Structure 1
Amino acid sequence: MSKHQFKISISGTEKEATEKALGLAVLASQLDAKTITALARIVQTDPAKVALAKSFLGIQ
């Protein structure tokens, strides 16, 4: 599979933006495009499921 590079802007402090970018890179390397797209749709449209996921992860 070929690799591609993108330039993106992420809001937050430099430390927070770096952590977000690293997390996104892991997700992108482990999940297929269909799964990432579905996850993004849930994040945008279903705050209850996002809250449940955060609770499960112990970060709320």
Structure 2
Amino acid sequence: MFFIFDNPAIQTFWMKDMLFPIDIVWISHTCIVDSITPDIPIPLESTEINKLPRYQSEAL
């Protein structure tokens, strides 16, 4: 998946309903890789929505 946002801002994602682990590559508005969050695990089905980990970009 590739998400493009109109304005630079800190973005947050979660893994709700994902079926496999993923890596998130955070790319700046200048098309530079700012950071990588590797191997994000699948949450347990029993995890409540408000307890799901959030993964956030580090820079704008």
Scaled by the length of structure 2, the TM-score of the pair is: 0.25
Higher relative contact order (CA 8 A, sep 6+): 2
Q: Whose helix proportion is higher, 1 or 2? A: 1
Q: Whose strand proportion is higher, 1 or 2? A: 2
Scaled by the length of structure 1, the TM-score of the pair is: 0.25
